[in-house]
Amino acid sequence: MGRFLKACRDLRDGSPHRQALAMALFGVALCAVPLFANDYWVRLLVFIFVNIALASSWNVIGGVTGYPSFGHSVFFGLGAYTAAIVMVRYELPMAMAMVAGGVVAAAFSLLFLPVFRQKGFYFALSTLAALLAVETLVHKWEFTRGFKSWDMGWTVPSPLSLDASYVLFVGLLCSTVISVIYLLRSKTGFALHALHKDEVLASSIGIPTARYKAIAFAASAVWPGVIGAAFAPFMTYISTESMFDVTITLNMILISIFGGIGTVLGPILGGIVLSVIDQIAWGNFLEYHRLIYGLLIVLIITYKPGGIVSWLWDLEQRLNRTAETPTPRGPVTANESGRHATIALRTEGGTGHAR
Amino acid sequence: MSKEVKTAGAAAVSRRTLMKSAVAGAGVIGASGLCPGILRRAWAADDVVHIGASLPLTGPYEKVSKIYKDGYDFWTKVSGGKMTVAGQPREVKWTIYDDENNASRTAQLTEKLISSDRVDLIAGSYGTDTVLAQGAIAGKHKRVTIQGGAASERVDEEIGGHTTFTLIASSKRYPAFAMDYLAKRSPTPKRVALITMDDPVYREMAEGVKEKVKEHGMQLVFEDVLPMKVQDLRPTALKLRGAGEIDILYNTGWDIICVKLVEEMSALGVNPKAFIGGHLTTSPTVKQTLGKKLTDVYGVTFWLPQFKYTDPHFKNPAEFAEAFKQAYGYEPTYHAALSYALPMVYEAALRDADPNNPFDQAALRDRLQKVKLETVWGPISFDKRGRIERGGAPVIQWQGPGPDAKVIFPSELAESEGAYPKRPWA
Amino acid sequence: MDDIVIFGILRGALFALAAFGFSLVLGVVGIVNFAHGVLVVFGGLLTHYLVAQVGLPYLIGLALAAAATGLLAGAMQRAFIAKTFRLHPLMVLVQTFGIAIVITELGIRFWGTEERLLRVDTGLPPVIEIGGKFIPTFDVLVFLVGLASAGALFAILNYTQFGRAVRACRDNRDSAQLCSIDIGRTFEKTMVVAGVWAGLAGGLFISLSPMAPYMHFHWTVDAFLVVILGGLGSMVGALLGGLFYGVLNFAAYYHLPTLAPAVIFAVLIALLLIRPQGLFGFGAAVRK
């Protein structure tokens, strides 16, 4: 166990190429699952993959950059509706629908630029307000509402079989995570870390914060757009209530926090663990599963705000008794003033120097 | 140099370890999918009928889904836990999941019921999105479902007849009888106002009202379309006040909308000559909250204990209601009668099934199309698109000291005369 | 048009009542309390229970329910928020969201999900004539209670020691600590006050309109909107914000009901962009 965790830690500290490769291999292995699992598990896994990918995208803007977007499901919904319009009204192939979904989402994200001047929760509320506003508009505008003018919702037949959809979503998940891996290790990624810690300071040393925020937000919006576009034919029947649901965003946030906010592995672990807990609760504690859900949220934040990932790294340190340069205890700390808490992210190598 | 070797070695180790764990991880997930499947297959015994359903057991529709669930449970009790399939009685087993009124969840759960739990029969969920999602999955497996939770025509258009049979009448039909009845009052009503919720089911009801307005030569003087999330009905009441004399006000919304409308109308002094509170005036919340204000309010309902239907197990709905109340401690609403009847429809279709393959879905579909039976829920037969054939919803009016709901139209079911115009709010 | 303003203001007082506590907590403790709506609903349902089931007179039931809600909020603070408020605000926000779910579920176990409405007999005529318009009496009463509470809170904040401690923590937490103000106790008391006012709002609202456990989120969002509109931390701001929101809400649903959510949120976003300190807020805009 200790060896395994140490290997994981080396992977985390190592080059992004290896991380990407690991993810790709994991994806390839996952593709073998439909060969011996029944339809229920295949479909369930697709939902889990979607959740993880969405959480990973949210994490870029919410966890790494520190701007918690509460309306993030707007990009997912826009992607889904774009696919519906492209595939049903214009009868274009699904691949084009997915590209269109990503483009529409990214374009829409740029409209948020003025909102970035806000402090944390004002930003959160603005994005939530935007979600609710867009949902109302999409529901009202005849062009987007449905195929016929009195329709409410779309019927998007899927050209793919269940197994083919599964492979597609594995691919989307891997693409999302791998792009997040590379983004976080790029110049943009370091800029985001810097501006999360102290935006005023970052901008005073010459980092163009506005530009990087825009890039981060667009990057965090593209994948939900593409995934939403792929999801519409998967569900076949879509409506604004199901695709723009605020609980989709809440799930993204929850998974990221539960797994470990600001980390690459966090959303993945969070998604897996929460789904497992969910399945168990549904099957055995039907009446209490929401209560369990709420309790979990409260407990993890009260006692382990760094999420599962931080718990794992602590475990790894204890098992291997590595006495390296002391990294901050837990990834969530307060800086000196105590007023403005920050999420200290693990920089690579444990030596803490930025490149 | 040794450092390079070490790092290379470490890298190799980590890569190998990771590949191993990746494959192991995927394998674990897959294997755990396999095991219950194996167990389940061995378990699908020959003398069991496994019925699967998902309902919004938590969330805003909790109270309604509890009624559905109790209805299923009641049928099980009443039929001694057995259903006759292909001439032989079989033990009935239910699996009901909570879908939280979420379409994705419902899709997942339906897949689970079909592929993992291997149910023989499927009972529908509640709400348009969820029923459609369920239908999508069932359709992919070429299976049938019977549902009583979504009235919208979209169900007929998308999945009706080939996948889904709907026990609840088309929402467009709901207002039919009420409008017909009121058209014959004197002085003849002319000015109609309409409250519509912005959602397919309610828009269809509104369509039904408008068709009747045209048919009877009335005039639609005001329509307010409200978003589903609306909280405050006062702006609507204010607009109604400004709309002049209103002869008929029809509310398509659900019980809470009816309650809020009445509260606001009585507070602001809006007095239509007739107020049709919609299809959920018989919900217990309405009477509890409005009390005397319900006097002279009309409603439409597909079911009341006073109706005169016959049933294999009960003489009439009143007997059914009494027995239900004894068992569960509350008065059943139409949802209970509907869900009680649902398994009976399956039973009627399966009685003469082929003993070698009783649950063959194609054969089941054909027989469901032809099914005809009379139950507490009323006469059941389906049209080409799998929709139950009903002309309209009978009309009730709240009368007397209670007030209590009395059926006033159609005449075969009527127990009282209706009062028109409505007296001022209590 | 003037009908819209009048009715908007009347309902707006309730929004303001609900928002006072939220604003206090946000300004002083520095957290967005997603469980705030739960406090409002709790107060409402408890009032209903005490009056309808236990048989207490309305005012007593209302007072008790408000007090109980305050205690609930205080317990929330002591048990959970106290451990986490130093963290990133997002964490606390999600924690309060979890608390909201837990309390809602427990509430459902006890109360069921049914909507409840309370009939209150004030013995006064049902409508009052003001300036030629007929206005429901109870709404006027609620409005007056709202104003009175704003005044009471204002007085507490400005003229009591507790109020001084609260303002100190709001303005500069470190200096407050240096002045030997006990932050923990002050936060707790702030949460209790917030709970009392939220419970009061709920108890009043349940006599006007049905309430059920699942409605809590919408109250939280409304409180948030009022605070944004009115400006953070000031009671007068919350009151004016509430009144303005009441009018905006009413006008939107009157003229464009199906677009109303979009309109309201568009106004909010516009306001955040143009005047982030709120319509009636003082001081510099709070920036990240």
Tell me the pLDDT tens digit for each residue of A162-193. 899 999 999 999 999 999 999 988 888 888 88
Q: What share of chain A is helix, strand, coil (3-state, %, to 5)?
A: 75, 5, 25
Chains near A with 3+ CB pairs less than 8 A apart are B, C
Indicate whether A355 belongs to any domain: no
Q: Which of B15, B65, B134 to mutate to test the interface with A (most CBs of A within 10 A)?
A: B15
Chain B neighbors of A4, CB-CB under 8 A: 17, 21
Asked if residue B235 has a cis previous peptide bond (ω within 30° of 0), the answer is no
Chains near C with 3+ CB pairs less than 8 A apart are A, B
Cβ distance of A10 and B14 shorter than 8 Å: yes
| CB–CB contacts below 8 A, A to C | 141
Q: What is the pLDDT of residue A322?
A: 58
Cβ distance of A294 and C286 shorter than 8 Å: no
Tell me the pLDDT tens digit for each residue of C233-269. 677 888 888 999 999 999 999 999 988 888 988 888 8
Indicate whether B313 belongs to any domain: no
Indicate whether B230 belongs to any domain: yes
Residues 144-203 of chain B with CB under 8 A from chain C are 198
Cβ distance of B235 and C113 shorter than 8 Å: no
Question: CB of C133 within 8 Å of any CB in chain B?
Answer: no
- pLDDT tops 90 at residue C53: no
Q: Which residue has the higher pLDDT, C181 or C139?
A: C139
B105 and B151, same structural domain? yes
Q: What is the pLDDT of residue A333?
A: 42
Look-up of token digits 């909201």: C100
Q: What is the pLDDT of residue C100?
A: 92
Indicate whether B426 belongs to any domain: no
Indicate whether B421 belongs to any domain: no
B273 and B194, same structural domain? yes
Cβ distance of C80 and A298 shorter than 8 Å: yes
User: Cα angle vertex B282, ends B280, B285, to 5°?
Assistant: 90
Give the minimum alpha-carbon distance from B52 to chain C in angstroms, rounded to a whole number. 25
- pLDDT tops 70 at residue A237: yes
Minimal-distance CA residue of chain A relative to C87: A341
Query: Which CATH number belongs to the domain containing residue B257 in this structure?
Result: 3.40.50.2300
B69 and B20, same structural domain? no
Q: Which of B10, B128, B133 lies at the smallest CB-CB distance from A235?
A: B133
Question: Half-sphere exposure (CA, 13 Å, Cβ side) for A268?
Answer: 16
Query: The domain containing residue B8 runs over which residues?
Result: 1-43
Asked which of C17-21, C39-43, C183-187 is least confident by mean pLDDT, the reply is C183-187
Tell me the pLDDT tens digit for each residue of A93-103. 999 999 999 99
Q: Which of A36, A47, A242 lies at the smallest CB-CB distance from B129?
A: A242
Q: Phi first, then psi: what are they for C235, rounded to 5°?
A: -70, -40
Question: CB of C7 within 8 Å of any CB in chain B?
Answer: yes
Q: Which amino acid is it at B326?
A: Q
Indicate whether B315 belongs to any domain: no
Please give the structure tokens belonging to residue A1. 């166990």
Tell me the pLDDT tens digit for each residue of A2-39. 777 777 777 777 888 888 888 899 999 999 988 888 88
B60 and B29, same structural domain? no
Cβ distance of B63 and C3 shorter than 8 Å: no
B262 and B148, same structural domain? no
Tell me the pLDDT band of A141, cut-offs 50, 70 and 90. confident
Residues 6+ apart with CB under 8 A from A244: A73, A74, A76, A77, A131, A134, A135, A138
B405 and B289, same structural domain? yes
Cβ distance of C4 and B229 shorter than 8 Å: no
Q: How far apart are CA C56 and CA A188, in angstroms?
A: 63
Q: Which of C208, C209, C254 lies at the smallest CB-CB distance from B235?
A: C254
Q: How far apart are CA C21 and CA C76, in angstroms?
A: 14
Query: Which CATH number belongs to the domain containing residue A80 in this structure?
Result: 1.10.3470
**Strand, coil or helix: B102:** coil
Residues 6+ apart with CB under 8 A from B373: B344, B345, B348, B379, B380
Chains near B with 3+ CB pairs less than 8 A apart are A, C
Beta bridge partners of C135: C128
Cβ distance of C134 and B289 shorter than 8 Å: no
- Strands B164-166 and B145-147 come out as parallel
Question: CB of B230 within 8 Å of any CB in chain C?
Answer: yes
- pLDDT tops 90 at residue A65: no
| CB–CB contacts below 8 A, A to B | 136
Residues 204-223 of chain C with CB under 8 A from chain B are 208-210, 212, 214, 218
For residues C54-76, give the mean pLDDT.
91
Asked if residue B227 has a cis previous peptide bond (ω within 30° of 0), the answer is no
Cβ distance of A301 and C94 shorter than 8 Å: yes
Q: Please give the helix or strand (H or E) that residue B240 lies within, else none.
A: helix B234-241
Taking the CA atoms of residue A205, residue A57, residue A123 and residue A138 in that order, the dihedral angle to the nearest 10 degrees is: 140
The count of structural domains within chain A is 1
Cβ distance of C92 and A130 shorter than 8 Å: no
Q: Which of B57, B289, B293 to mutate to test the interface with C (most CBs of C within 10 A)?
A: B289
Cβ distance of B25 and A29 shorter than 8 Å: yes
User: pTM, whole model, 2 decimals?
Assistant: 0.82
Tell me the pLDDT band of A245, cut-offs 50, 70 and 90. confident
Count CB-CB contacts under 10 A for residue C124.
11
Q: How far apart are CA A109 and CA C2, in angstroms?
A: 39
Q: Which of C116, C119, C253 lies at the smallest CB-CB distance from B232?
A: C253
B189 and B90, same structural domain? no
Q: How far apart are CA A317 and CA A157, in angstroms?
A: 50
Q: Please give the helix or strand (H or E) that residue C213 lies within, else none.
A: none
Query: The domain containing residue A113 runs over which residues?
Result: 2-350
Minimal-distance CA residue of chain C relative to A301: C95
Q: Please give the helix or strand (H or E) that residue C8 lies within, else none.
A: helix C2-28
Tell me the pLDDT band of A325, cut-offs 50, 70 and 90. very low
Q: Which of B113, B117, B132, B164 to mutate to test the interface with A (most CBs of A within 10 A)?
A: B132
Chain C neighbors of A332, CB-CB under 8 A: 87-88, 91
C-alpha distances out from residue C273 to A117, B225, C4, C262, C278, Å: 8, 31, 26, 16, 10
User: Cα angle vertex B265, ends B260, B268, to 5°?
Assistant: 125
Question: Half-sphere exposure (CA, 13 Å, Cβ side) for A59?
Answer: 32
Q: How far apart are CA C30 and CA B415, in angstroms?
A: 63
Cβ distance of B111 and A43 shorter than 8 Å: yes
| CB–CB contacts below 8 A, B to C | 80
Cβ distance of C115 and B230 shorter than 8 Å: no
Minimal-distance CA residue of chain C relative to A124: C90
Cβ distance of C210 and B238 shorter than 8 Å: no
Q: pLDDT over 70 for what percent of chain C?
A: 97
B160 and B89, same structural domain? yes
Indicate whether A205 belongs to any domain: yes
- pLDDT tops 60 at residue A251: yes
- pLDDT tops 50 at residue A348: no
Chain B neighbors of A47, CB-CB under 8 A: 104, 108
Chain A neighbors of C262, CB-CB under 8 A: 132-134, 136-137, 140
Tell me the pLDDT band of C287, cut-offs 50, 70 and 90. very low
Chain C neighbors of B100, CB-CB under 8 A: none
Q: Which of B63, B229, B256 lies at the smallest CB-CB distance from C112?
A: B63
Q: What is the pLDDT of residue B45?
A: 59
Give the minimum alpha-carbon distance from C140 to chain B in angstroms, rounded to a whole number. 12
Q: Is the dihedral of CA A279, A284, A287, A293 positive or negative?
A: negative
Asked which of B154-158, C63-67, C107-111 is least confident by mean pLDDT, the reply is C107-111
Q: pLDDT over 90 for what percent of chain C?
A: 23
Q: Angle between the A16-31 and B2-43 helix axes, to the nearest 10 degrees?
A: 20
Cβ pair B255, B247 in contact under 8 A: no
B337 and B302, same structural domain? no
Indicate whether B189 belongs to any domain: yes
Cβ distance of C102 and A298 shorter than 8 Å: yes
End-to-end Cα distance, chain A: 32
Cβ distance of A150 and B17 shorter than 8 Å: no
Q: Which residue has the higher pLDDT, A282 or B183?
A: B183
- Provide the H-helix boundaries in C49-88: 58-76, 82-84
What rounded mean pLDDT belongs to chain C?
Answer: 84
- pLDDT tops 90 at residue C195: yes
Residues 6+ apart with CB under 8 A from B215: none
Indicate whether B80 belongs to any domain: yes
Q: Which of A38, A150, A155 lies at the smallest CB-CB distance from B37?
A: A38
Encode B280-292: b = buried (16+ Cβ within 10 Å), e = exposed.
bbbbebbbebbee
Residues 6+ apart with CB under 8 A from B288: C116, C117
Cβ distance of A33 and B33 shorter than 8 Å: yes
Cβ distance of B26 and A32 shorter than 8 Å: yes
Q: Phi first, then psi: what are they for C144, rounded to 5°?
A: -65, -40
Q: How far apart are CA C3 and CA B241, in angstroms?
A: 11
Q: pLDDT (tens digit, 0 to 9) for every residue of chain B, 426 residues total?
A: 444 444 444 444 444 444 445 444 444 444 444 444 444 444 455 789 999 999 998 877 888 899 999 999 999 999 999 999 988 899 999 999 988 888 888 998 999 999 989 999 999 999 888 999 999 999 999 999 999 999 988 899 889 889 999 999 999 999 999 999 999 988 899 999 999 998 888 999 999 999 999 999 999 999 999 998 888 899 999 999 999 899 999 999 998 999 999 999 988 889 999 999 999 998 888 988 888 899 999 999 989 888 888 999 999 999 999 999 999 998 898 999 999 999 999 999 999 888 888 899 999 999 999 999 999 999 999 999 999 998 889 999 999 888 998 999 888 888 888 888 988 887
Cβ pair A166, A46 in contact under 8 A: yes
Question: CB of B256 within 8 Å of any CB in chain C?
Answer: yes
For residues A193-213, give the mean pLDDT.
84
Cβ distance of B200 and A152 shorter than 8 Å: yes
- pLDDT tops 80 at residue A332: no
Residues 175-234 of chain A with CB under 8 A from chain B are none
Q: What is the pLDDT of residue B350?
A: 92
Q: Which residue has the higher pLDDT, A229 or A242?
A: A229
Cβ distance of A282 and B10 shorter than 8 Å: no
Q: pLDDT over 90 for what percent of chain A?
A: 30
- Give me the domains of chain C, ranges plus CATH numbers: 2-110+133-274 (1.10.3470)
Indicate whether B236 belongs to any domain: yes
Chain C neighbors of A115, CB-CB under 8 A: 269, 272-273
Q: Which amino acid is it at A250?
A: L
B179 and B34, same structural domain? no
B266 and B182, same structural domain? yes
The count of structural domains within chain B is 3
For residues C71-100, give the mean pLDDT.
84
Count CB-CB contacts under 10 A for residue C58.
18
Q: What is the pLDDT of residue A330?
A: 38
B207 and B125, same structural domain? no
Q: How far apart are CA B35 and CA C167, in angstroms?
A: 62
Phi-psi region at A236: left, alpha or beta (left = phi > 0; alpha = psi -120 to 50): left
Q: Which of C126, C139, C258 lies at the smallest CB-CB distance from B198?
A: C258
Chain A neighbors of C173, CB-CB under 8 A: 338-339
**Strand, coil or helix: B52:** strand
Phi-psi region at A206: left, alpha or beta (left = phi > 0; alpha = psi -120 to 50): left
